[in-house]
Structure 1
């Protein structure tokens, strides 16, 4: 549980030959009209399973937790709300039925749980039976090699949304055979990068995404810096917001892109009326200073930022625990969150 890991920035190439692009300046938010401190209630589990619980999702009477750095299985299913273990699945390994990696997952229903294996370039669909305490893999979609190594996705009824990691576009629509249908947008940097540095720019702008099919809102939040994008797919609009820390910042050191700004967002969720994000805002120089003092810097975000669907800031929640992944239930005003800093890693917050 105490293991520390950076989740991106592996093999990122240098970001060089860039200049400020005149005429491109996106709106900034600086404050929130409402701020409130909220405290965590620790969820007591009936078994100890996790090493790095990164994502959580709840549907009706089932909850699924993704363990990023697990020893054996990437996913653990529980009953909800009593949190009794049902089954673990997504075995780590190199075999045909095993997974080399998992970046994230999407829980639509007990028989439709999608998981992204970036190393195998696959999206697999799983089904979980609470009665039989069994998980089975239903089918596997092999992704087109032109997508390089996708790190996030969203499955709609007709296609997948997957960010573009070559820097030519912002995201792709991919069919259920894993083939590209359409490319959309571009990275909204205020700087002008040369063509050869687009892949490095795409890695720097690695973003977490979520989509709400009821209102057609696709939202993206950068893991570095403080940038949010809102695509209204029904009205064909694109809104870009910068926070006080702006876009991801890097310097070039011996051909490597080294972050010089902050760790930004770690999760994003789009509901029918709002956009919820988990924000860290910790400077990399402060993390380095902690290591130099022989200390381990805190891992996770202590803020939840809430925006409306147009990007207007509404609420800032200040947490008493650092968290990574969230699940939102606006009807019960409940947030379920994962905390990698605690031996009791599942938390509940009341809004």
Structure 2
């Protein structure tokens, strides 16, 4: 029997570890994408006053309102994408049973109902898509203090996967009763800023979150860094995609009784603004604009970067208008977004055949 040289064994194991690390942490450039320009048409709905969040569920678009609209106004609107008609309002404003305060959508494939997470009311509410009542059909109270302000998605086994605003872990998993059952991906220290704590790094990496329970792929997209973190629920492994801009923005850190907060100069450029995971691709709305740009021109984002499910760059879709929010209709091969002009509506972009093959 031959005995393997310990030095050769070390070299072999080191090379395997290095290859695996390269596969899980990659840096990209703009040259890695093929660029395609897209034109749009716009649909306007006078019922929407000051749109906040945006979600596509089946053939319905769900739009929530900011908290600063009149109390008597509904907090949610349903739009039909089949004929671009206003379907109905939802969400009576309030803190009572079946009411909602600041709704955040938890997207599913259900065609009969949709879910809303309302952190201020400490509950997850179920709304019927078909009935005409503003009220939810049921509430599930959340008492676990770990279930703070976060973005949520459903897992393949119908648990909740969440991104907390401030946490040492990248993802948290809760059961249907709101009990914490798993934590995934502890934040790594940054070589260029070794003084930052993991909680501060979590704030700097914070942003948008979306997942697809069908294929088990979930994506964190940072607002402040050129960074995507792709999580495979089946393997429980992450793939980090960084770049093209690897620089960290300048910021000030503030601590209060409510947790940490980062403040930025108004000319700091934002990065990812929205993310959607389809069956085959990851669509990410990229900004490159600052708060100053938005104040002066209303520009939020005019570019969508498309990756395969392993984080390999595919296309840069250059848009003819600025949008916020993102939805991809795989049946009609259309992209939807909220326009950011003086009279906001829904922009519709047709995905070209060359970006589907």
Q: Report the count of equivalent residues.
A: 317
Which residue in the other structure is 1:13 paired with? none
Q: Give runs of aligned pairs for residues 113-152 of structure 1, distance below 5 A.
A: 113-129=114-130, 132-147=131-146, 149-152=148-151
Cα deviation 1:134-162 (Å, max 9, x = unaligned) = 45423222334432632300023430001
Q: Distance in 1 between matches of 2:253 and 2:145?
A: 28
* Structure with the larger RCO, 1 or 2 (CA within 8 Å, 6+ apart): 1
State which of 275, 288, 298 in structure 2 corresponds to 1:268.
275
Q: CA offset at residue 36 of structure 1?
A: 1.1
Which residue in the other structure is 2:65 paired with? 67
Unaligned runs of 5+ in 2: 1-20, 256-260, 352-357
Q: CA offset at residue 223 of structure 1?
A: 1.7
Which residue in the other structure is 1:321 paired with? 321
TM-score (structure 1 length as normaliser): 0.80
CA distance 1:233–1:94, change in 2 (3 Å): closer
TM-score (structure 2 length as normaliser): 0.79
CA-atom RMSD in angstroms = 2.8
Q: Distance in 1 between matches of 2:126 and 2:56?
A: 15
CA distance 1:175–1:224, change in 2 (3 Å): same
Cα deviation 1:152-200 (Å, max 9, x = unaligned) = 00023430001134422111110111111111112355346668x4433
Q: Distance in 2 between matches of 1:163 and 1:344?
A: 28
Q: Distance in 2 between matches of 1:122 and 1:199?
A: 25
CA distance 1:164–1:65, change in 2 (3 Å): closer
Contact 1:53 1:345 (C-alpha < 8 Å) held by counterparts: no
CA distance 1:74–1:199, change in 2 (3 Å): farther
Which is helix-richer, 1 or 2?
2
Q: Give runs of aligned pairs for residues 80-229 of structure 1, distance below 5 A.
A: 80-129=81-130, 132-147=131-146, 149-156=148-155, 157-188=157-188, 190-191=190-191, 197-229=197-229
2:49 pairs with 1:42? no
Unaligned runs of 5+ in 1: 1-22
CA distance 1:254–1:110, change in 2 (3 Å): closer
Q: CA offset at residue 124 of structure 1?
A: 1.3
Structure with higher Rg: it is 2
Q: Distance in 2 between matches of 1:189 and 1:325?
A: 30
Contact 1:65 1:75 (C-alpha < 8 Å) held by counterparts: yes
